[in-house]
Amino acid sequence: MSKISKEQKITAIKEVEAGESISRVAKQRGISDTELKWLVRSYLEHGEQGLNSHAYGFTTQQKYEVLKYMNENGLSLIETGVLLGIRHSTILQWERRFLENGIEGLENKKKGRRPRTVKPKPPKTREEELLERIEDLEIENEYLKKLNALVAEREKRERENR
């Protein structure tokens, strides 16, 4: 569902209360039927405060208590969500994770990128150090030869120009 303002939500709810069908209002407003049902129920249960979008920061124990309450009272996801002010899709995710992984599935996951670990380079052997030193000296030698050639060429041109 695209984000809609609180005023648009209230307008859609008032239309449903006035007798319009949920599916018709949902289609006109570009909201899913399920979402509009949830909004209407939440509005009737909690008033305008029930239209606030998200609740975050549930502990593992709180998530477990929500699932336990839902099962003990035989409530649907939507009914539980309306009563507690939690989106039914969130409760569904909790339920799936609980069924797959038990209580550990309800623990908060770390978000974001993992820190980058720099892998240490293995120490070089004496032979590798010597080969690297030889390569550096060869490069330095080539550089000095070219520099000498350029200096000699410049001096030759200067002598010719005199």
Q: Same domain for 103 and 59?
A: yes
118, part of any domain: no
Both 34 and 47 in one domain: the answer is yes
Selection from 28, 105, 26 nearest residue 64 by Cα = 105
Q: Give yes or no: residues 38 and 80 share one domain.
A: no
DSSP string covering 46-72: HGGGGG--------HHHHHHHHHHHHH
Look at residue 1 in the predicted model and tell me its pLDDT: 43
Q: What is the pTM of this model?
A: 0.50
Residue with the larger pLDDT of the pair 56 and 1:
56
More confident residue, 64 or 8: 64
pLDDT band at 148 (very low <50, low <70, confident <90, very high): very high
The verdict on residue 115 lying in a domain is no
Q: Which pLDDT tens digit goes with each residue over 96-147?
A: 999 998 888 888 777 788 888 888 888 999 999 999 999 999 999 999 999 9
State the Rg of the chain over Cα.
36
Q: Mean pLDDT, to the nearest integer, of 71-81?
A: 88
Structure tokens at 80: 């539980």
- Domain extent for 98: 54-109
Q: Across the chain, what does the average pLDDT equal?
A: 86
* Residue 129 and residue 96 share a domain: no
Q: Are 44 and 19 in contact (CB under 8 A)?
A: no
Residue 104: what are its φ and ψ, rounded to 5°? -65, -25
Structure tokens that stand for 17 in this block: 């209360």
From CA 11, how far away is CA 42, in angstroms rounded? 14
Residue 2 has pLDDT above 60, yes or no: no
